[in-house]
Amino acid sequence: MFRTVLLAVALLVLTLLAAPMPCRAEMPRVEINSPLPPPYWALLERELLSRNAEACAEFYQRYFDERGYLRCVERWGGDDGPDDAIENCNDWPLLHALGGSDEVLRMYKHAWEGHLRQYTAAKTVEVPSARDGMYYKEFPTSFDWVHNGEGLTVFNLQGLSDPTDLQFGRRVRRFAGFYMNEDPGAQNYDATHKIIRSLFNGSRGPLLRQATALDWAGDPIEIKNRFRLGHGEESYEQMLAHFKDYNDIIGDHPQNLAATSLAANAYLLTGEAKYRRWLLEYVDAWRERMLANDDVIPTNIGLDGKIGSATDGKWYGGVYGWAFTVEVPQNGSLAHRNTHHWGLTGFVNAYLLTGDDRYLEPWRRQIAKINAQGKMVDGQLQYPRMYGDQGWYHFHPAKYDHGALEIWYLSMREADLRRLEIGGDGDASAPRRPATASARHRQWIRYLLGQDPQFPVRALLSDMLRMQRRVAQMRADTTTPDTRLADDPMHLNPASVASLVQLMLGGLHPGHQGNVLQCRLRYFDPDQRRAGLPADVAALVDRLTAEEVAVTLVNLNPLQPRDVIVQAGGYGEHHFIGLERADATTTKLDARRLQVRLAAGAGQRLVLRMRRYVNQPTMSHPWH
């Protein structure tokens, strides 16, 4: 019998080996031979990539030791904690994925490994959740997603450059599993009510009691004449006073939607359907809550799954809720700390996986709903940001527009562009001031509309100046490891890539919340088999529409050709269907990637037609 089974297995293996293997469709190839004198923007791009890497190396040598530990006093808390330590390498994964040197990848991976060891070993004395280590199973024990998300900013983007790293893969699965109840010690998610059960959650599960100021502030610490805290506190007593009202954490909050980036990463890495199912299930539940709550996202869902049930029935209650206005202990002023907008992350992740507009529409409705509450204040029409027992309050002259930029970028609809009040008709009229979109985003959108052709050079020079200024400040820094908190060097981190993300990728900077990357194009070096533009190559996206992206590719090397692979989307979620060259010749395409050969000193503008959000997104590189 045993021999019969072995024979059957052997025959099956031979049959499979003899069967024709499915072959990958050949990648389309494009030749560019037209000479192009080196454009100023292209020289600036390559210089910014190079100098960024040099500046980061100097920063790393100054603030990290040979173990990858940050040279600082380790603490737990909302003022300064483990998340702040690794945030000192923010934007380094983007820098490498754009084409920065391999040394950047080595440094931030070394920092991440050191960071995990450093804060697993670091323990609190009085804060219960971190007495055995601030990290457990290489993840925060139990804290809120303002801090969890910030601490995952570097890790969640590692897959852009190094998705096959075995440790990365294990962690991606484990971290997502903490929110899918795959770890019996971290039952963060209630699958019946589709909630994450507390504002505090992590590798040791949810905190299901009222939080104390100690939970937030961390252990007692000497401050005067030693440290300068980011919130301005001058004593540990003021630190406790800062967090004295941070109590109502039981139940779900929109912040927790940032945890969907863990499932998104796991799906992008593995393609396993369970991660997609969980992500959409959780986001769908929040979508229904928005619709049921008169188009405004509630900031507390009780353990019974009902809106506001853990905060006396108030949909606007809870820490970081719509009504979360607290007193600043140093001066008695009021601070409005409503972080509902972190919930947008989950809806953007759902859109990346589906391309379904049902994940954008609730945020359009919320924007309209809140701006409909505008009223005259001191003779000026103003719009609210907060809601409490007294109704809407904390009015501003600028319209509420959290999510408006992302909605337009994802949808590419004219109506969504108009919401930004930039002028979407393509004329050259002076732009109106948008609601709260940053100046950089306003200028970038005007540039894409053909209204600001000098933006690329201006933006690249701005980032160069920013980097130079930070290096000068770093060299003048007088702190020592025993007078330095983890967040002290953050404002000196020289990595400056915002202009490169916009101009090279046609993308949105993912911010520092642990988000994945949203962009129209990405590049790979087929000779070096790595992410990013090859040496000497520069790229400039100058137009985005729902159906097209226009990009100029140039080889600055006058002696040697260069090959570059162009991918449709940050994770291949888009699909190329056509190509138009500068001479109006067109080519049909049917691929998520194409390879471009640039002759020595050659360059050309290409208009790539595409269908968006039609492919399963993946971290895989072209040769995987």
The H or E element that residue 603 is part of is strand 603-611
pLDDT for 211-229, tens place per residue? 999 999 999 999 999 998 8
Average pLDDT over residues 564-571: 98
pLDDT for 73-119, tens place per residue? 999 999 999 999 999 999 999 999 999 999 999 999 999 999 999 99
Going by C-alpha positions, the residue among 377, 33, 78, 39 that lies closest to residue 216 is 78
SS3 content of the chain, % helix, strand, coil (to 5): 40, 15, 45
Sheet with 575-580, edge to edge strand ranges: 537-544, 548-555, 603-611, 575-580, 586-591
pLDDT for 375-432, tens place per residue? 999 999 999 999 999 999 999 999 999 999 999 999 999 999 999 988 544 333 333 3
Mean pLDDT, all residues of the chain = 93
What token pair was written down for 271?
């393609």
Higher local confidence (pLDDT), 422 or 158: 158
Whether the per-residue pLDDT at 436 is higher than 80: the answer is no
Provide φ and ψ at 566, rounded to 5°.
Answer: -110, 125
**pLDDT band at residue 10 under the 50/70/90 scheme:** very low
Q: 103-112, 226-235, 253-262: lowest mean pLDDT where?
A: 226-235
Q: What is the model's pTM?
A: 0.94
Q: How far apart are the first and last CA of the chain?
A: 41
Whether the per-residue pLDDT at 138 is higher than 60: the answer is yes
Whether the per-residue pLDDT at 505 is higher than 90: the answer is yes
What is residue 177's predicted lDDT score, i.e. its pLDDT?
98
Higher local confidence (pLDDT), 313 or 233: 313
pLDDT for 16-66, tens place per residue? 333 333 334 589 999 999 999 999 999 999 999 999 999 999 999 999 999
Rounded to 10 deg, the angle between the 273-292 and 344-354 helix axes is 130
**pLDDT band at residue 230 under the 50/70/90 scheme:** confident
Query: Quick one: what percent of the chain has pLDDT higher than 90?
Result: 90
Q: Is 549 left (phi over 0), alpha (psi -120 to 50) or beta?
A: beta
